[in-house]
Amino acid sequence: MSATISFTLSEEQQMIQQLARDFARKEIAPVAEHYDKTHEYPWPVVKKAQELGLTTMNIPEEYDGLGLSMFDECLVNEELAWGCSGISTAISVNSLGMLPILLSGSEVQKQTYGGRMANGELCAYCVTEPEAGSDVSGIQTTAVKQGDHYVINGSKTFITGATNANFYTVLAYTDPELRGTRSRYKGMSFFAVDRDSEGVSVGKPFDKMGQHASDTAEVIFENVKVPAANLLGEEGKGFYTAMSVFDHSRPSVAAGAVGVAQRALEESIKYAKERVSMSKPIWQHQAVGHKIADMAMNIEAARLLVWKSAWMEDNGIVDKRAAAYAKGFAADMAMQVCTDAVQVFGGYGYMSEYPVEKLMRDIKIYQIYEGTSQIQRIIITRELFR
């Protein structure tokens, strides 16, 4: 991607965006309500997404993926989340799961797991634990070296895609003695672990507030033997890989928040044109019209932050603030926009037969996963005063 800044999408980017937009409108939006109510995993939609390569967006072409840039990935994720962020997450979480392999894996590992993804497999990212969310160094899972393999013990929770994944990328302490010390960040390592390995068990999907189409569950590892060849990168460098994963994943997650907010805006405009109060459409009442104008302004601001962070990532410009600005602002903005959309709809907005009720439930998680809004502010503050 050129280092020259332009706000005009290239012909190829427009094609990618249109592909995702058509998929969201034809394949996702029409079934979003069904999967929201049934909590079923959207296999038919996911399989169609696999056929288009949407589960291998960030995997380079030489490893059988689409090889999209971060900017392209953000264009796609905004459109898919417009359709349904739960179904979008079920599709895009595979890119997250593959990141430790793409960032730290060997050529053989990239070829192996890239090929498996291209052949229809799914993966999930296993870092969060019952006692370790924002504080990654608080994980308790261990991986002890025994000859030519490691033995993994521990449990991961809130794992998106856990129940349907064929393999996991798992963070564990390979040097448990460093836990709780100043050197704790040097004691963790990443592994690729097959779902069908003896000792791996997956709990029932959690009953969540929103994103019902995206499965989230606990994964337990009990004396799981993993070949030493499944170590991703150098032993002891796992924490740094995890931090790099966040830098790579936050722009695309922020793009998803923008997509949900854009949907809320469009639904609000449509309703405000149709709903009449005091003999005129409600958008003509300043209280409503200005609220929708604020929604539009903030969505545009968030989209530009996302585009900038993605552009910087693609051009190798290292600045952790960019991704934190995008993720923090987009998540908080989208939550406010969806809340305002419910207000625009009034009593109807509180009813599940209207779309904004679902949008408001779905969007809340964006302020929590991939680094809470509070964590983004910690990152920004640290970088400003570094």
Q: What is the pLDDT of residues 176-228, one digit of tens each?
A: 899 888 988 999 999 999 999 999 999 999 999 999 999 999 999 999 999 99
C-beta separation of 77 from 252 below 8 A: yes
Q: What is the CATH number of the domain that holds 87?
A: 1.10.540.10
Q: Does residue 220 fall inside a structural domain?
A: yes
- Same structural domain, 324 and 338: yes
Convert the pLDDT of each residue in 238-259 to its tens digit. 999 999 999 999 999 999 999 9
Using the predicted structure, report yes or no on whether residue 2 has a pLDDT greater than 80: no
Distance CA 103, CA 86 (A): 26
Give the end of a domain, one of 236, 267, 286.
Answer: 236
- Same structural domain, 163 and 253: no
Task: Provide the pLDDT confidence category of residue 115 given band limits of 50, 70 and 90.
Answer: very high
Give the end of a domain, one of 236, 268, 284.
Answer: 236
Residue among 279, 290, 306, 189 at smallest CA distance from 242? 189
- Same structural domain, 188 and 95: no
Q: Does residue 353 fall inside a structural domain?
A: yes
Q: Does residue 3 fall inside a structural domain?
A: no
- Same structural domain, 209 and 134: yes
* Cβ count within 10 A of residue 372: 17
- Same structural domain, 179 and 295: no
Using the predicted structure, report yes or no on whether residue 1 has a pLDDT greater than 60: no
Q: Identity (one letter) of the amino acid at 345?
A: F
- Same structural domain, 30 and 114: yes
Q: Does residue 313 fall inside a structural domain?
A: yes
- Check residue 249 and give its pLDDT: 94
Read off the pLDDT of each residue in 61-79 and give the average, rounded to a whole number. Answer: 97
Q: Does residue 296 fall inside a structural domain?
A: yes
- Check residue 3 and give its pLDDT: 59
Q: Does residue 325 fall inside a structural domain?
A: yes
- Same structural domain, 229 and 355: no
pTM of the model: 0.95
**Catalytic machinery residues:** 370
Q: What is the CATH number of the domain that holds 136?
A: 2.40.110.10
Distance CA 258, CA 331 (A): 8
Q: CA separation (Å) from 290 to 137, 153, 265, 284, 294? A: 45, 55, 12, 9, 6
- Mean pLDDT score of the chain, rounded to an integer? 96
- Same structural domain, 96 and 200: no
- Check residue 94 and give its pLDDT: 96
- Same structural domain, 252 and 380: yes
Question: Percent of the chain, pLDDT > 70?
Answer: 99
Tokens 């979480």 belong to 93
- Check residue 6 and give its pLDDT: 81
- Check residue 191 and give its pLDDT: 98
- Check residue 179 and give its pLDDT: 86
Q: Does residue 269 fall inside a structural domain?
A: yes
Convert the pLDDT of each residue in 217-234 to its tens digit. 999 999 999 999 999 999
- Same structural domain, 229 and 249: no
- Same structural domain, 269 and 364: yes
Using the predicted structure, report yes or no on whether residue 5 has a pLDDT greater than 90: no
Read off the pLDDT of each residue in 22-48 and give the average, rounded to a whole number. Answer: 98
Q: Does residue 40 fall inside a structural domain?
A: yes
List the domain range (segments joined by +) for residue 360: 240-384
User: How many domains would you assign to the chain?
Assistant: 3
Q: Which residues contact 217 (CB under 8 A, 6 or more apart)?
A: 159, 162, 163, 202, 203, 204, 205, 206
Task: Provide the pLDDT confidence category of residue 152 given band limits of 50, 70 and 90.
Answer: very high
Using the predicted structure, report yes or no on whether residue 304 has a pLDDT greater than 60: yes
Give the end of a domain, one of 72, 99, 118.
Answer: 118
Please give the residue that has the higher pLDDT: either 180 or 278.
278
